[in-house]
């Protein structure tokens, strides 16, 4: 990741020690530490202490929880968290969430808040949500179909019949800023979005495939455009629910057509934009661009040469 691009990726930031050795101790031992604090999750949102600050509570303030996940230890002394403090995430039900809420409290969405959170809070929220989403998908072993239970402070699950350990999964996906000989940027509108939402082309890496090969294949499948020379820019987790987004820039292959052919299934519309055209369409709310938390927006802003005003948050 280049020095200039890395700071553009809000969810790639972290400032805690994941402290893998303490996971074997179990959550009871971790939470017994007087310095322990917990992040509270409910329906994939975190309890906030302020508009852009994650609430870190003493464990006994949370009356019950459905799942506990050890996140690690703080590495720097901060006013609300001494260095070395263990931090866990507690997933709570609706009744507990309501009991914790106060007149001033809110529940924050990482997709919307990621770029506004501190380095510590962005890293904690991203880690907690990614791990929680994995647990939600692996209540049964994919190998045997038997129920599984959480172990190792939330970092594994165990098949209750065979004893097989299951480990967290992350799905690699590429996302690419495509430019032509005139340095125009290609954006597409996905079938799952409103018709005026546009972003970069992206897709999952297939088995036995390199990241670079996935760039070439996905772009052609979705747009009919041939690209060459994929250049890595950076990566960040995208726990919605379990992706690692790997960002590239690529250019249209010499002699290839720039006439887009949307695949009609994932991509319904393709448009090439010059910088002036994109700025005008964004300002007029003719299109809505990815939010500032996403790597898509980071690649778009890097190509543009500055930060475009939000054309609509998502």
User: What is the distance between the terminal CA atoms of the chain, rounded to a whole angstrom?
Assistant: 25
Kindly tell me if the per-residue pLDDT of 231 is higher than 60: yes
The domain locations on the chain are 6-137, 171-304
Burial 243-260 (b: 16+ CB within 10 A, else e): bbbbbbbbbbeeeeebeb
pLDDT of residue 314: 53
Kindly tell me if the per-residue pLDDT of 130 is higher than 80: yes
Separation of CA 37 from chain center: 23
Query: What is the DSSP secondary-structure string of 179-205?
Result: E-TT--EEEEEETTS-TTB-B-EEEEP
* Angle (CA) 242 235 119, round 5°: 85
**pLDDT tens-digit series, residues 42-62:** 999 999 999 999 999 999 999
Per-residue pLDDT, averaged over 222-246, amounts to: 97
pLDDT of residue 4: 80
The encoded tokens of residue 278 equal: 């994109």
Comparing C-alpha atoms, which of 195, 293, 292, 294 is closest to residue 308? 292
What band does 101 get if pLDDT is binned at 50, 70 and 90?
confident
- CA 167/CA 145 separation, integer angstroms: 15
- Classify 165 as helix, strand or coil: strand
- CA 253/CA 135 separation, integer angstroms: 42
**pLDDT tens-digit series, residues 270-303:** 999 999 999 999 999 999 999 999 999 999 999 9
- β-pairing verdict for 37-42 and 86-91: parallel
DSSP H helical ranges for the chain: 27-31, 94-100, 110-113, 119-137, 211-223, 275-283, 295-304
**pLDDT tens-digit series, residues 190-217:** 998 888 999 999 999 999 999 999 999 9
pLDDT of residue 310: 67
Q: If you average pLDDT over every residue of the chain, what do you get?
A: 94
Q: Is-above-0.85 flag for pTM?
A: yes
Q: CATH number of the domain at 6-137, out of 3.90.79, 1.10.260, 3.10.450, 2.60.40?
A: 3.90.79
pLDDT of residue 16: 95
- The owner of tokens 């369409």 is 281
- CA 313/CA 194 separation, integer angstroms: 12
Kindly tell me if the per-residue pLDDT of 313 is higher than 70: no
CB 211 within 8 A of CB 218: no
Separation of CA 235 from chain center: 10
**CATH level 2 (architecture), domain 171-304:** Alpha-Beta Complex (3.90)
pLDDT of residue 82: 95
């Amino acid at each position: 990741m280049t020095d200039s691009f890395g700071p553009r990726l809000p969810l790639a930031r972290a400032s805690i020690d994941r402290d893998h050795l303490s996971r074997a101790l179990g959550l009871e031992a971790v939470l017994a530490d007087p310095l322990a604090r917990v992040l509270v999750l409910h329906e994939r949102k975190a309890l906030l202490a302020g508009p852009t600050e994650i609430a870190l509570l003493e464990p006994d303030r949370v009356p019950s929880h459905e799942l506990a996940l050890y996140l690690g230890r703080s590495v720097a002394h901060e006013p609300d968290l001494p260095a070395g403090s263990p931090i866990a995430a507690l997933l709570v039900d609706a009744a507990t969430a309501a009991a914790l809420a106060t007149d001033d409290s809110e529940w924050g969405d990482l997709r919307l808040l990621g770029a506004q959170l501190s380095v510590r809070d962005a890293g904690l929220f991203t880690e907690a949500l990614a791990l929680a989403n994995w647990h939600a998908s692996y209540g049964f072993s994919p190998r045997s179909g038997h129920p599984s239970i959480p172990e190792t402070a939330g970092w594994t699950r165990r098949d209750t019949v065979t004893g097989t350990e299951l480990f967290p999964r992350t799905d690699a996906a590429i996302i690419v800023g495509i430019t032509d000989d005139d340095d125009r940027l290609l954006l597409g509108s996905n079938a799952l979005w409103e018709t005026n939402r546009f972003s970069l082309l992206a897709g999952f890496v297939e088995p036995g495939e390199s990241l670079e090969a996935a760039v070439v294949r996905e772009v052609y499948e979705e747009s009919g455009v041939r690209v060459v020379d994929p250049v890595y820019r950076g990566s960040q987790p995208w726990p919605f629910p379990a992706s690692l987004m790997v960002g590239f820039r690529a250019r249209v292959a010499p002699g290839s057509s720039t006439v887009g052919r949307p695949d009609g299934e994932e991509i319904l519309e393709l448009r090439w934009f010059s910088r002036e055209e994109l700025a005008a369409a964004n300002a007029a709310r003719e299109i809505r661009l990815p939010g500032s938390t996403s790597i898509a927006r980071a690649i778009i802003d890097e190509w543009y040469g500055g930060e475009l005003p939000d054309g609509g948050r998502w």
